[in-house]
Amino acid sequence: MTILKSSVAKKVAMALSGLFLVMFILIHLAINLTLIYPGKEAFDAAVEFMATNPFIQLMQPVLFLGFIFHIAMGIYLEWTNQGKRSVKYVNSNPGAASSWASRNMIWTGLFVLLFLIVHLINYFVPFKTQEIHDHYALVTGLFKNPFYTLFYVLAFIGLGIHLSHGFQSAFQSLGTPREKCNKALVITGNIIALLVAFGFSAIAIYFYFN
């Protein structure tokens, strides 16, 4: 356990939990896309599958722990890192050397966390506590609210920005040979970021207007 005390090991843990969550979000996106195509029946079948499949049931607590770990470790690391420079610069120009996304992972992360809490209250809690027959209606119904849809879209743009840095950063933390892989990882990361940001947003906007 002494290894986990190292800053390098903590970054590896952030990377692994982050990539695990990326996998989850892509599966989630694939299921949500069935709302539009093929449509209601496919979506309800997917929800039914997720609710009953034993492997998915097994993964649910793992996913929950993955979220808790990634969030708690992220906040802890940011908190301790902030404490490493007690006297701040009077004039600092960080934009000259690094991307906004890379410097603001904590803020995009916390914004997504806020969304996650609202999301759990809206879907997950009723899903677990009530007998819901029409999942399609529950999901699409909320998008009729313009404020909710706007918040939803902003949250996924935030997540997209988070992933645009997070994906390639995770591989760097895992020690992937940079010269060979970096270009491919940056491109893949950006594609995933765009998919997540536009994919989820498009679904929300579609149901707002339809």
Partner 1 sequence: MKLNLKIWRQNGPNDKGRMVDYQIDGVESDMSFLEMLDLLNENLIAKGEEPIAFDHDCREGICGMCSLYINGEAHGPDRLTTTCQLHMRRFKDGETITIEPWRANAFPVIKDLIVDRSALDRIQQAGGYISVNTSGRTVDANNIPIPKKDADNAFDAATCIGCGACVATCKNASAMLFVSAKVAQFAQLPQGRVEAAKRVQDMVAVMDAEGFGSCTNTGACEVECPKGISLSNIAILNKEFLLAQVK
Residues that bind partner 1 (CB under 8 A): 3, 5-12, 77, 80-81, 83-94, 96-99, 102-103, 105, 165, 168-169, 172-179
Residue with Cβ nearer partner 1 (3 or 117): 3
| Residue among 53 and 99 whose Cβ is closer to partner 1 | 99
Q: Are 33 and 196 in contact (CB under 8 A)?
A: no
Question: Which DSSP symbol is given to 2?
Answer: G
Closest CA to 162 of 18, 30, 13: 18
Give dist(CA 76, CA 120) in Å, integer: 23
Q: How far is the CB of 104 from partner 1 (least distance, A)?
A: 10
Cβ proximity to partner 1, 103 vs 144, nearer residue: 103
Burial class (CB in 10 A: 0-12, 13-18, 19+), 30: exposed
Query: Considering the complex, what minimum distance in angstroms separates the CB of residue 167 from partner 1?
Result: 11
Nearer to partner 1 (CB atom), residue 31 or residue 77: 77
Chain Cα centroid distance, residue 59: 17
Kindly state the smallest distance separating residue 180's Cβ from partner 1, in Å: 10
CB of 151 to partner 1, least distance (A): 27
Provide, rounded to whole angstroms, the least separation between the CB of residue 91 and partner 1.
Answer: 4
Q: Can you tell me the distance from the alpha carbon of 95 to that of 132, in angstroms, rounded to the nearest whole number?
A: 49
Dist CA 141 CA 153 (whole Å): 16
Q: Toward partner 1, which CB reaches closer, 146 or 177?
A: 177
- CA separation for the pair 205, 188 (Å, rounded): 25
